């Protein structure tokens, strides 16, 4: 059988973890495939994209092309439509279908960490990652709070309005991160606070963290942020963001070739991906 061809397309694309993760996933599934890196500058996108697609069986697409690619596709998955964003494309004999795998990657990471997305869920931040996580929490019926700095309150309210318009019955409000109090079922950090090299920072205080039964941190460098370490020390159930990065890649393979994976292989891939990241 012919070797399949995949790649990640973006600009700039020098530090991507995608080849490491996807090559491992192809190997684990026994799929004979190559996975490359293609840098396409925005001004060359329309021409180079068409040239490139004809040579690929599927690809990942990242910043700054996640929206730009949409009008060039033949079909969009329902989540890609909801988010207006595509990070994975399957080329089915010339017909290109676009998906976004971040939402399902987030859900899978929570599922395997046994972190519920129900009851009182607090998401810290209202940027790109928070948007996906907040929509998924609302779709899951959570009582959702977006906890942000005072200066981003308007942006958070806009996101809350967007969620209410798209998800019928969504229960979502915005709160000042410094005033966060009371028991929280699941806390999700979607800010970069605590990310390498500023690993001794945390987005909320120790006493706020003590009230959190479950904690998910989107940050994947370091593997365990100070927030995660302290949450574990408090006896909370806690998980870092590398699992989301890897699971969203696993979901892409589901779309490309239907592959299934042993959860122990995925756990090992998370640890190895972090070692690879440190060497980069």
Residue 94, C-beta contacts closer than 8 angstroms, at least 6 positions apart: 54
Residue 129 makes contact with ligand NAP by CB under 6 A: yes
Residues 183-202 that bind ligand NAP (CB under 6 A): 190-193, 195
Task: Give the β-pairing of 120-124 and 143-148.
Answer: parallel
Q: In this complex, which beta carbon is closest to ligand NAP, that of residue 19 or of residue 128?
A: 128
| Candidate list 172, 218, 226, 266; residue touching ligand NAP; CB under 6 A | 218
Task: Give the β-pairing of 88-92 and 95-99.
Answer: antiparallel
Task: Residue 210: count other Cβ atoms within 10 Å of its Cβ.
Answer: 13
Residue 110 makes contact with ligand NAP by CB under 6 A: no
Query: Is 108 labeled as catalytic in the residue annotation?
Result: no
Please tell me the distance from the alpha carbon of residue 244 to that of residue 25, in angstroms, as a whole number: 15
Question: Vertex 59, ends 63 and 136: CA angle to 5°?
Answer: 60
Q: In this complex, which beta carbon is closest to ligand NAP, that of residue 60 or of residue 248?
A: 248
Q: In this complex, which beta carbon is closest to ligand NAP, that of residue 130 or of residue 228?
A: 130
Residue 126 makes contact with ligand NAP by CB under 6 A: yes
Please tell me the distance from the alpha carbon of residue 268 to that of residue 255, in angstroms, as a whole number: 22
| Candidate list 36, 64, 116, 128; residue touching ligand NAP; CB under 6 A | 128
Residues 69-98 that bind ligand NAP (CB under 6 A): none
Residue 133 makes contact with ligand NAP by CB under 6 A: no
Minimum CB separation of residue 115 from ligand NAP in Å reads 14
Please count the residues of this chain forming the interface with ligand NAP, following the rule CB under 6 A: 24
Please tell me the distance from the alpha carbon of residue 85 to that of residue 76, in angstroms, as a whole number: 10
Rg of the chain over Cα atoms, rounded to whole angstroms, equals: 19
Residues 238-257 that bind ligand NAP (CB under 6 A): 241, 244-245, 248
Determine contact, residues 256/6, Cβ cutoff 8 Å: yes
SS3 helix, strand, coil % of the chain, rounded to 5?
45, 20, 35
Choose the binding region for ligand NAP from 47-55, 58-66, 214-222, 260-268 (rule: CB under 6 A).
214-222
**Greatest Cα-to-Cα distance within the chain, rounded to the nearest angstrom:** 60
Residues 22-51 that bind ligand NAP (CB under 6 A): none
* Catalytic residue selected from 50, 66, 154, 164: 66
Binding mask of the shown chain, residues 138 to 157, with x at each position contacting ligand NAP by CB under 6 A: ----------xx-xx-----
Of 171, 188, 163, 184, nearest to 110 by C-alpha is 188
Residue 227 makes contact with ligand NAP by CB under 6 A: no
Which residues of the chain form contacts with ligand NAP (CB under 6 A)?
125-130, 148-149, 151-152, 177, 190-193, 195, 203, 218-220, 241, 244-245, 248
Residues known to be catalytic: 66
């Amino acid at each position: 059988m012919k070797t399949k061809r995949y790649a990640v397309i973006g600009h700039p694309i020098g530090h991507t973890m995608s080849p490491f993760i996807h090559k491992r996933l192809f190997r684990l599934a026994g799929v004979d495939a190559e996975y490359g890196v293609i840098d396409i500058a925005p001004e060359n996108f329309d021409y180079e994209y068409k040239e490139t697609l004809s040579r690929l069986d599927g690809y990942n697409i990242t910043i700054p092309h996640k929206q730009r690619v949409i009008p060039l596709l033949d079909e969009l998955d329902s989540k890609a439509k909801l988010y207006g964003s595509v990070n994975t494309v399957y080329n089915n004999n010339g017909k290109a279908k676009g998906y976004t795998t971040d939402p399902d990657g987030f859900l899978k990471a929570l599922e395997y960490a046994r972190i519920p997305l129900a009851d009182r869920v607090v998401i810290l931040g209202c940027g790109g990652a928070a948007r996906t996580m907040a929509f998924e929490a609302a779709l899951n019926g959570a009582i959702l709070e977006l906890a942000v700095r005072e200066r981003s309150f308007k942006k958070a309210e806009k996101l809350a309005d967007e969620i209410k318009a798209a998800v019928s019955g969504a229960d979502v409000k915005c709160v000042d991160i410094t005033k966060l109090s009371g028991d929280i079922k699941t806390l999700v950090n979607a800010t970069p606070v605590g990310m390498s090299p500023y690993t001794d920072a945390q987005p909320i205080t120790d006493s706020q963290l003590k009230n959190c039964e479950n904690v998910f941190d989107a940050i994947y460098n370091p593997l365990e942020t100070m927030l995660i370490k302290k949450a574990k020390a408090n006896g909370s159930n806690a998980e870092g963001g590398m699992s989301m990065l890897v699971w969203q890649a696993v979901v892409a393979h589901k779309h490309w070739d239907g592959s299934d994976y042993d959860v122990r292989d995925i756990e090992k891939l998370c640890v190895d991906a972090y070692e690879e990241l440190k060497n980069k």
